[in-house]
Amino acid sequence: MVNLMSGDSFHPPVRTLMGPGPSDMNPRVLAAMGRPIIGHLDPAFVGMMDQMKVLLQYAFQTENELTLPVSAPGSAGMETCFVNLVEPGDKVVVCINGVFGQRMKENVERCGATPVVVEDDWGQPVDAQKLDSTLAAHPDARLVAFVHAETSTGACSDVKTLTQVAHAHDCLVIVDSVTGLGGSELRVDDWGVDAIYSGTQKCLSCTPGLSPVSFGPRAVERIQSRKHKVQSWFLDLNLIMGYWGSGGGKRAYHHTAPINALYALHEALVLLHEEGLENAWARHRHHHEALKAGLEAMGLALLVEEPHRLPQLNAVKVPEGVDEAAVRTRLLQRYGLEIGAGLGPLAGRIWRIGLMGFACNAKNVRLCLHALESVLTEMGAPVERGAALPAAERIYGVTA
Amino acid sequence: MVNLMSGDSFHPPVRTLMGPGPSDMNPRVLAAMGRPIIGHLDPAFVGMMDQMKVLLQYAFQTENELTLPVSAPGSAGMETCFVNLVEPGDKVVVCINGVFGQRMKENVERCGATPVVVEDDWGQPVDAQKLDSTLAAHPDARLVAFVHAETSTGACSDVKTLTQVAHAHDCLVIVDSVTGLGGSELRVDDWGVDAIYSGTQKCLSCTPGLSPVSFGPRAVERIQSRKHKVQSWFLDLNLIMGYWGSGGGKRAYHHTAPINALYALHEALVLLHEEGLENAWARHRHHHEALKAGLEAMGLALLVEEPHRLPQLNAVKVPEGVDEAAVRTRLLQRYGLEIGAGLGPLAGRIWRIGLMGFACNAKNVRLCLHALESVLTEMGAPVERGAALPAAERIYGVTA
């Protein structure tokens, strides 16, 4: 029975978020979100939206006019791409190497289209050769969908090459970069990406509930020449563009934007711009090196092979005989530290340790290595004691 | 050209929000939103979700197990009802007496179903007789959809009677109460409502971006016996129930909930519970009486007839010859006061003055009457001077 006494405000416990997202938010972003609300058609708000678009274009490295945050979480950003670009009867090649590729396939089916699957093992990147031969066998395919940064495994796929392969077969691409944006190299224009969606609660360290998307000229053309109405009214870009002003001219009411969350995203993007995108990518790489050094010194192994590892999402193999859920519970209860579990076939076999955005820092690397070593030792797991922190400190240049 | 100098944080101007929503947020709700983020599967967060469900059940006056906030704005709540309850080929009776009835019709069409329209003039409530004869002429209809509180006109329809009519013809109902919840009498269980959606930025005075919904047993049965998959993955209640725990048992990840916005909604619902739902309804009625007395003393007329007026959304006729947009601009620039414009056929003909949730108070009524009288007088409109505030004060019992 839930107690509903007056005054039962919710005060969240203090946590350190090193799971697959959300990540800890910078106090500046939290403060932005708590600022008083103004109207979604207020001239001051519209000015903020204009600036937001430029900041998002910077984060995506694109000049795409149709670049905006969808007013709902990453899953809705995914659906925005599919319902606008896929028509009933289309054939869509979907590359699956984890949970989010599977979800893309679900989206294709629910659009009344036919998915053709290119499958790779979980933990592997998408194989460009396989994509190429699949496309050769299906010359009527119109779209290719794949995940840049697989949040369920920590594998990074080669967006540039996969996009080239798709284009060579006259297909547009839809790219999932929910966990990529702000954490790993991503160049929408240079790489020719046609449509991309992301999330705000990963390497942007903003509140969840928004999904930045960007559409290139060929994608916009395809949307504008659709034969069928978009099946979702809420996610119909023809209507959303009217509010975000991508057609120029007066902004028309479509839905009420999540105003305070947009304040927060604006501030998170200002922070990214202050740091510099390439500096942010390098920071993720640097702390990943320290974490990896510590984990390996402890005797733990990463799931993904070296060249394909995402620095911001580290899938760590659970040692034989260890109850992975009990480890996570103890980390949370004693250290306030959240790390993630495995999903699907990797449930029980990996932990997912995030180093995302504001949460990607040396203090968190140190806390995580110390806490994990303590808990694993306590539970009798075969870990090397006292080696993890010194190994990480060597990466940080601390050799004392 | 947008300037992107480092440090360009966004600081919203101070406004008083008396439009059709969003409404001003209580500082307690703003503070809740700015609290540090925790994981969406954290035991502390799950406990908050359990409490949220009970608070929402209280606000809706229902014991429906399937009561939760959809992770997107009211338009997505609308779409949640339609994509889950409508199947391709269904016939759905949609009552249209404003913008949101039209949007419901769009939803029906995009679900591959056939809408049958019952039309009433904008500003009128939905006519139960017309609904009854339409249903008699379409015995194969399975659903009736109508708006409780039409945000575009300020008209309140009789949910109880319309639901009885629908049930007599063996139809379920979908009710839009985006602007109703927390501001006007609404009793989901007593009135037999099968499915309902609302918004958070109206009479709950929370941040926009969430849509509370509730589904009764017959609606749940219909969802569970669907022949076709729900066309939206993001809004598929079969999947969302797994996260919100409506089936009991362990919570499964579906999408990342908008955590901070949920903190805010929780606090807004705690505030509603502290005040008491019936007290909140009475407060909306009371300040509406004062506003109405002032407006009428000034010589302005309301669009909607007395018995059908929503206290929280006052549609005021623009006097002949007055440039309504110029009035709104001056109110915003000089007084920081936002009121709303008319939509569709009412554009240019009405203002929409909201008295919603936290913004429904005597201070705002006084500001609005004073500011509107000043601006209209200045612009040469034929208003009675010096009468509005005393008329409002008589309602407040101030007769000095």
What string of DSSP letters covers A358-381? GG-SHHHHHHHHHHHHHHHHHTT-
Closest of B374, B387, B208 to residue B295, by C-alpha: B387
The predicted pLDDT at position A245 comes to 74
What CATH code would you report for B27-273? 3.40.640.10
- Distance (Å, rounded) from C-alpha A233 to C-alpha B275? 36
Instruction: Compare CB distances from B17 to A39, A53, A338 and report the shortest one's residue.
Output: A39
Position A3 scores a pLDDT of 59
pLDDT at B133: 98
pLDDT means per 10 residues in chain B (400 residues)?
66 97 98 97 94 97 97 98 98 98 98 98 98 98 98 98 98 98 98 98 98 98 96 95 70 90 98 97 98 98 97 97 97 98 96 98 98 97 96 91
User: Is the CB of residue A381 less than 8 Å from the CB of residue A332?
Assistant: no
Contact by Cβ (8 Å): A285, A156 = no
Contacts of B357 in chain A (CB under 8 A): none
Q: What 3-state DSSP class applies to B341?
A: strand
Would you call A17 and B39 a contact, using CB atoms and an 8 Å cutoff? yes
| pLDDT of A26 strictly over 60 | yes
Is B115 in a helix, a strand, or coil? strand
Q: Which tokens is A43 given?
A: 């001239």
Beta carbons of A23 and A242 less than 8 angstroms apart: no
How far lies B381's CA from each of A3, B135, B325, B371, in Å?
55, 47, 14, 14
Q: Work out the minimum CA distance from A354 to partner chain B, whole angstroms.
A: 12
Report d(CA B10, CA A24) in Å as an integer: 21
Task: Judge if the upstream peptide bond of residue B22 is cis by omega within 30 degrees of 0.
Answer: yes
Radius of gyration of chain B (CA): 22
From A8, A22, A232, residue closest to B51, measured CB to CB: A8
Among B12, B110, B264, beta carbon nearest to A233: B110
Annotated binding site of A for substrate: 352
Q: How far is B157 from chain A (nearest CA, A)?
A: 22
H-helix or E-strand spanning residue B179? none
Contact A274 B7 (CB under 8 A): yes
Is the Cα torsion angle A35, A39, A45, A49 positive or negative in sign? positive
A80-110 per-position pLDDT tens digit: 999 999 999 999 999 999 999 999 999 999 9
Contact A319, A381 (CB under 8 A): yes
Is residue A5 pLDDT above 60, yes or no?
A: no
Interface contact B22-A40, CB threshold 8 A: yes
Q: What is the DSSP letter of B149?
A: E
How many Å lie between the alpha carbon of A204 and the closest alpha carbon of chain B?
14
Determine contact, residues A202/A179, Cβ cutoff 8 Å: yes
Task: Report the length, in residues, of chain B.
Answer: 400
Residue of A6, A40, A332 with shortest CB distance to B274: A6
For chain A, the maximum distance between any two Cα atoms, rounded to a whole number of angstroms, is 67
Question: Can you give the residue ranges of every domain in chain A?
Answer: 27-273, 277-395
Q: Which residues of B touch A358 (CB under 8 A)?
A: none
Q: Which residue matches tokens 């000043």? A: B374
Q: What is the pLDDT of residue A248?
A: 53
Give the residue from B34, B27, B69 showing the smallest Cα distance to B48. B69
At A144, the amino acid letter reads V
Among candidate residues A63, A123, A69, the one with its CA nearest the CA of residue A96: A123
Q: What is the pLDDT of residue A244?
A: 84
CATH level 3 topology of B276-395: Aspartate Aminotransferase, domain 1 (3.90.1150)
Residues in A closer than 8 angstroms to B354, CB to CB, are none
Which pLDDT belongs to residue B399?
Answer: 75
Cβ atoms of A230 and A222 closer than 8 Å: no
* Probe site for chain A from B38, B99, B106, B260 (most A CB atoms < 10 A): B260
Residue A246 or B274, more confident: B274
**Sign, Cα dihedral of A34, A38, A39, A45:** negative
How many whole angstroms separate alpha carbon B378 and alpha carbon B387? 16
Rounded to 5°, angle at Cα B260 from B258 and B266: 100
Query: What is the spatial distance between Cα B39 and Cα B32, in angstroms, rounded to a whole number?
Result: 16
Substitution target in A5, A99, A260 with the highest count of B β-carbons within 10 Å is A260
Which regions of B206-328 does DSSP assign to beta strands (E)? 211-215, 313-317
Whether residues B256 and A229 touch (CB distance < 8 A) is answered with: no
Please provide residue A315's backbone torsions phi and psi, each rounded to the nearest 5 degrees. Answer: -90, 115
* Residues in chain A, total: 400
Residue-level pLDDT at A1: 44
Q: Which residue has the tokens 């009736």?
A: B144
What residues of chain B lie within 8 A of the CB of A274, using their CB?
A: 6-7
- Residue B291: helix, strand or coil by DSSP? helix
Pick the CATH number of A277-395 from 3.40.50.720, 3.90.1150.10, 3.30.930.10, 2.60.40.10: 3.90.1150.10
For residue B17, which residues of chain A lie inside 8 Å, CB to CB? 37-39
- Using a 10 angstrom Cβ sphere, with 0-12 exposed, 13-18 middle and 19 or more buried, the burial of residue B317 is middle
Q: Please name the residues in contact with B129: beta carbons below 8 A apart, sequence gap of 6 or more.
A: none
Q: Are A194 and A219 in contact (CB under 8 A)?
A: yes
Q: Which residues of B touch A45 (CB under 8 A)?
A: 12
Q: Between A398 and A123, where is the model more confident?
A: A123
